[in-house]
Amino acid sequence: MSAHPVQTASNDWLAICPASAIPLLGARVVRTALGNVAIFRNQDDQVFAVQDACPHKGGPLSQGIVHGLTVTCPLHAWKIDLDCGEAIAPDQGCVARYPVQVRDQHVYLSLTPLPRTTET
In the predicted model, what is the mean pLDDT of residues 16-35?
95
Q: Which residues have a Cβ under 8 Å from the Cβ of 44 and sit 6 or more positions away?
A: none
Domain containing residue 50: 3-110
Domain assignment present for residue 60? The answer is yes
What is the CATH classification number for the domain harbouring 27? 2.102.10.10
Note if the pTM is more than 0.75: yes
Q: What is the pLDDT of residues 43-92, one digit of tens each?
A: 999 999 999 999 999 999 999 999 999 999 999 999 999 999 999 999 99
Question: In the prediction, which pLDDT does 118 show?
Answer: 58
Tally the domains of the chain: 1
- Residue 11, SS3 per DSSP: helix
Give the gyration radius of the chain's Cα atoms.
13
Per the prediction, the chain carries an average pLDDT of 90
Does residue 120 sit within a domain? no
Residue 45 falls inside a structural domain = yes
Residue 9 pLDDT exceeds 50: no
